[in-house]
Amino acid sequence: MGNNNIRIIKYIYEGTKTQDGAGVSLTRIIGGPELNMLDPFLLLDEFGSDDSKDYIGGFPPHPHRGFETITYMLNGKFRHKDTAGNEGYLTDGSVQWMTAGRGVIHSEMPEQTDGLVRGFQLWLNLPKEKKMIEPSYNDIDVKEIPIVEQKGSRVKVIAGTYGNITGPGNSHTGMLYFDISVNSNSRISIPIDDGWNGFCYVYEGNIFCRKELSIGSIGILSTNGVFECRTESKDARFILVAGMPLNEPVARGGPFVMNTKNEVLQAFEDYQLGRLG
């Protein structure tokens, strides 16, 4: 690969098995006891099961304020609805990019009762000056997500730019979100802006970025240089996500993420008084 300025994996964590919504089984990768957040990323959940009991309860109506949710479905079908009358449909390979802004009450419910449901939900913090913007949605069909194919690898560009190809995800701060497949005994190099925090999470096979990162592990990257990895005898798939840190205070209260405790208390009051969404 020949680049001396290569990002290294500083830390490796395993996710925590938990439940959310109405009993949906998932793995909390960011937002748990080991890794509370990685500015600007507040939470990363992986959900996946072919047993409907693990997902059929879905996520009934619940509020959000102050951040964006990015839901990427590898397999399965979920329907989104909110109290403003918006509705979206997530299918295999699609993405819903929701900007909660000043507040939204929505639900995410499975549309299938058997078969595999698998995907990720990422929470991306909003900067202080944009926490109370109008809510918005970007439902991204799988056909809208460009794929960069090269020898030994395949990159789905959900957000950010790779090889002069820009993805459809439109964040309020600089970030990239790639779903990457690397064939056995192959290598890949991905430029990332210096100063951005980044991570890779392996969900099939294992990769080597000076350190080995196996399935179900998240690797937190150093903040300068390009990302490079290789595979050995097996194919691998992983998500690579990086973003510009906000370096702002974070106050969290369940589904609300603001800058101060008083702002979180105000969000709860607004929700209880019906001012949200």
Q: Is residue 3 part of a domain?
A: no
pLDDT at 276: 81
Does any domain span residue 1? no
Residue 117 forms part of a structural domain:
yes
Instruction: With respect to residue 4, please indicate whether it lies within any of the assigned structural domains.
Output: no
Are 16 and 27 in contact by the 8 Å Cβ rule? The answer is yes
Beta carbons of 11 and 233 less than 8 angstroms apart: no
* CATH number, position 64: 2.60.120.10
The verdict on residue 107 lying in a domain is yes
> Is 49 inside any structural domain?
yes
| Separation of alpha carbons 206 and 200, rounded Å | 11
CA atoms of 111 and 76, how far apart (whole Å): 8
Blockwise average pLDDT, block size 10, the chain, 277 residues: 76 93 92 94 94 89 94 92 83 94 91 86 97 93 97 97 96 97 97 97 96 96 97 97 98 94 96 84
Distances (CA, A) of 32 to 16, 163, 255: 7, 34, 14
Range(s) of the domain holding residue 223? 9-129+138-272
For the stretch 88-124, pLDDT in tens is: 889 999 999 999 999 999 999 888 778 889 999 999 9
Our CA angle for 205, 158, 26, nearest 5°, is 55
Instruction: Tell whether 227 is covered by a domain.
Output: yes
Number of domains comprising the chain: 1
Which pLDDT tens digit goes with each residue over 139-151?
Answer: 999 999 999 999 9
Cα Rg of the chain (Å, integer): 18
* Bridge partners, 71 (sequence order): 96, 121
